[in-house]
Chain A
Amino acid sequence: MNLSETVNTGYFFGLVPLLVFFPIAGMLFNMIFGGKMSEKAIGTVASAASGLTFVVAVLLAYSLSATHGELHQVFLAEWIHIGELQLDWTFRVDTLSVVMMLVVSGVGTLIHIYAIGYMHEDVRFKDDVRRFRRFFVFLNLFIAMMMILVSGDSYLMLFVGWEGVGLCSFLLIGFWYDFNILGQKSTENAEAGKKAFIANRVGDFGFLLAMFTTFWHFGSLQFDAVFESASHHPDPVVISAITLFMLIGVTGKSAQVPLYVWLPDAMAGPTPVSALIHAATMVTAGVYLVVRSAPLYNLVHSTSYIVAMIGAVTALFAATIAVGQYDIKKVLAYSTISQLGFMVAAVGMGAYVAGIFHLATHAFFKALLFLSAGSIILGMERGHHHLAHGHGDHDDADAHHDEEVFDPGDMRNMGNLRKQMPVTFWLYMAGTLALAGIFPFAGFWSKDEILLDAKLHAEHYPGVYWLLAAAAFLTAFYMGRQIWMVFFGKERTEVAKHAQESPPVMTVPLMVLAFLAVFGGALNLPGSHALTHWLEHTIEGVHAGEFDFMVAGVSTVLALIAIGISWLLYGKNPLKAGQIDPLKKPLGFVFTGMENKWFVDEGYGAVIIRPFEKLAKFLSIDLDWNFWHDWFHNEVVYAGFQGLAKFLADPVDMGIINAIADWLAEITKRSSEKLSSLQNGFVRSYALSVLVGVVMILGYLLLK
């Protein structure tokens, strides 16, 4: 906001606080005035706030490129100055944070615009139009928090944003807190929000421990200061501890094994939320954290290997679950976890550029896929309503009944939507090909770079390549399966026959995203390596890798084979209504496992939650109530005390203590009344009091 500086230097670094200010302003504006504004106006304000943030990010990127990517720190205000802890609100503008800003605000703005159309219908299907405004207030708040997260110059400021986005995520998952995902009245969505919050809390606890350890040993939380002290620190155990604690935070926020379980449930939020928060931006915060802390991770190989393995295992594990899902958004959710696994694996191996590159392209195509899925779901809802109204006149009860069981997101209810929703189909195709990693879509280049790095570093990080390659294969497979099930074959329900295409306010942002999903690879094409050169100003020791036809060829062939198999299974003989999945037979219990998410939730229930509840019950009922309260308190303490108390109460307490307390209270009250009675209202008395004061002061001073 330091405009004079901007004018003087010609650069825009002073504008960086606006990144936070614009969305906050948009939020406040809608909070205060939104009540009387039309939906269009509310949406416009929120989108404009987000759009202006994007403009600022672009200006920062321009300034940064004009100053050769040098780090700029912009001081806003003093924050905490206690003893050794000296923290300010300082914004950090470097090539890494600017990439994040661009992705977040760019994709964020498109999703804002999309959400105007989406929420317009959603609030009507759920019959509560007042929540339209609330949605955009939360969305703006999210952008602001995300900006704090990526632009902070210290771990604590990052943590503020980190917690802030967690809060927004919670609020938005439980946005329809009184519904379930099928639109029935229920508390399921609220519980999903709670689950996300608690899983993240476990991760945040790790992050907090990392910060405490950092401050304890390095005396600061400011990035440069921490890295500087860390590089001289003799004890690798400390740095291992910090990085491992941090990793717990990463597994929470970026939904990695073992804390990923919240993300699939988070699909309870409206689809724009799934796209923005749970695919494109917030969940990548963990990846950003690792890249930001690269100087720490570079110091300890063992932790980085753990990071890489966690990422790779997550990538494969989530991909297998995605294969067995029927809900269109659930498939995408597991796919997101899997892709986040790719990124985490990449940054774990020190391939920071590849990780960030995949983060950006993934933001494009996964947002595209989610939003298109949203468009499909709404299309199905429209068809459903259309039918319900058609039948409503003579078959009310039936229509009502129908409404309760119909799931617009279940792929088994779809089929041949290509015909009803052609625009969405083509957009979805673009996203799918990008995600499957088909040449020359964006995902091809970024995923390939990760695989290449995994191959190159195979001796230091054994096993990662194979896990990732298998995950890539499955990715192509489940996306193929989805395409065949949703868009091809025959309509499996009446509703699918009546599905309707979405309005331009939704499809136009999708087209922009599709463009990015197709051409996003240009960011870091082999040969030019634009992103690598951009990020090398910030991250030490990155270098452009060689393009390896072997790796690219293998992954492309794998992807094509996977799509081929999916065509054989789902495309050649389209699924019929009520038919079980063709994979079920050959894979048997393996597929049952996939279908049921490998029973991880149940496992957590059996291993952690139920024992925990039992323990809690034991502590509260048996230990606290029965033993402690009933027996110990009542029998031992109470009875024992009663005797003592009788003695203390009558002669001691009433006689002495109470008397003193009463006396104190009484004396205060009496003197209060006395003082008020001195206030007799006569000026002459008041004047006398003044004179008394004068005499006493003079007397003291003169006789001293």
Chain B
Amino acid sequence: MTTMQVLFLFFAAIILGSAIKVVTTKKMIHAAFWLVVALFGIAALYAMLNAGFLAMVQIVVYVGAIAILFIFAVMLTRKELLDKGAALNNNKTIAALISLVFFGGLLLLLTNWSGFTKMAPDLPEGDMVAKLGEALVTPNAYLLPFEVASVLLLAALIGAVYVANEARSE
């Protein structure tokens, strides 16, 4: 077993363990924190795959923004942080079954994938982040999705402001 494999198994265990905790813990706020741990683990996996930039983005966006948003949301909307209701409901059996089948399907799919037996293509030379940045603003690469995403964010922003706003009563 190489060091990389050991590290991978370690992070994988952390991710899986904390992911299970996310759905099983009774306290919402704990679930949010476990989520942060799982997201960190994924960032670590990115880093191991030489995707340093993605790892950074993962931490900044998911941990820094989204997870924190969860925590705030939980803290602002609940008086008690302990969730009293049952965590599971009537649909649990069928849901578990479906999830299992889905998982099995993905497993089957991925075991048949040739990518596991192939070597990853060599990455091009040079500063990857700079290349990524360039690609995002080059018309022949990803300028269009990038620009549209910005418009999308504008629309989402308006929507968020609007929905969050108390209904004006005149």
**A residues engaging B (CB < 8 A)?**
684-685, 688, 691-692, 694-695, 698-699, 702
Contact = CB atoms under 8 A, between A and B. Distances in A.
Interface of B: 89, 91, 94-95, 98-99, 101-102, 105, 108-109
Contacts of A688: 91, 94-95, 98
A240 to B, nearest CB: 73
Nearest to B90: A685
Nearest to A684: B91
A692 B98 contact: yes
Contacts of B109: 702
B101 A695 contact: yes
Contacts of A684: 89, 91
A704 to B, nearest CB: 13
A699 B91 contact: no
Contacts of A698: 102, 105
B28 to A, nearest CB: 16
Contacts of A695: 98, 101-102, 105
21 contacts: A684-B89, A684-B91, A688-B91, A688-B94, A688-B95, A688-B98, A691-B99, A691-B102, A692-B98, A694-B102, A695-B98, A695-B101, A695-B102, A695-B105, A698-B102, A698-B105, A699-B101, A699-B105, A702-B105, A702-B108, A702-B109
A698 B110 CA distance: 13
Contacts of B99: 691
Contacts, number: 24
Nearest to A685: B91
Main secondary structure of the interface of B (DSSP, over half): helix
B94 to A, nearest CB: 7
A684 B98 CA distance: 13
Contacts of B94: 688
Given A688-B95, A691-B99, A699-B101, 15 more contacts: A684-B89, A685-B91, A688-B91, A688-B94, A688-B98, A691-B95, A691-B98, A694-B102, A695-B101, A695-B102, A698-B102, A698-B105, A699-B105, A702-B105, A702-B108
- Across chains A and B, which 10 residue pairs bring their CB atoms closest together, nearest first? A698-B105, A695-B102, A695-B101, A691-B98, A695-B98, A692-B98, A688-B95, A688-B91, A702-B105, A702-B108
A692 B105 CA distance: 13
B39 to A, nearest CB: 22
A688 B98 CA distance: 8
With most chain A CB atoms within 10 A of its CB, the pick from B94, B101, B108 is: B101
B88 to A, nearest CB: 11
Contacts of B98: 688, 691-692, 695
Contacts of A702: 105, 108-109
Nearest to A692: B98
Contacts of B95: 688, 691
Contacts of A694: 102
Nearest to B91: A688
A684 B101 CA distance: 18
With most chain B CB atoms within 10 A of its CB, the pick from A688, A694, A695, A698 is: A695
B56 to A, nearest CB: 31
A702 B89 CA distance: 31
Contacts of A685: 91
Nearest to B99: A691
Nearest to A694: B102
B135 to A, nearest CB: 32
Nearest to B106: A698
B95 to A, nearest CB: 6
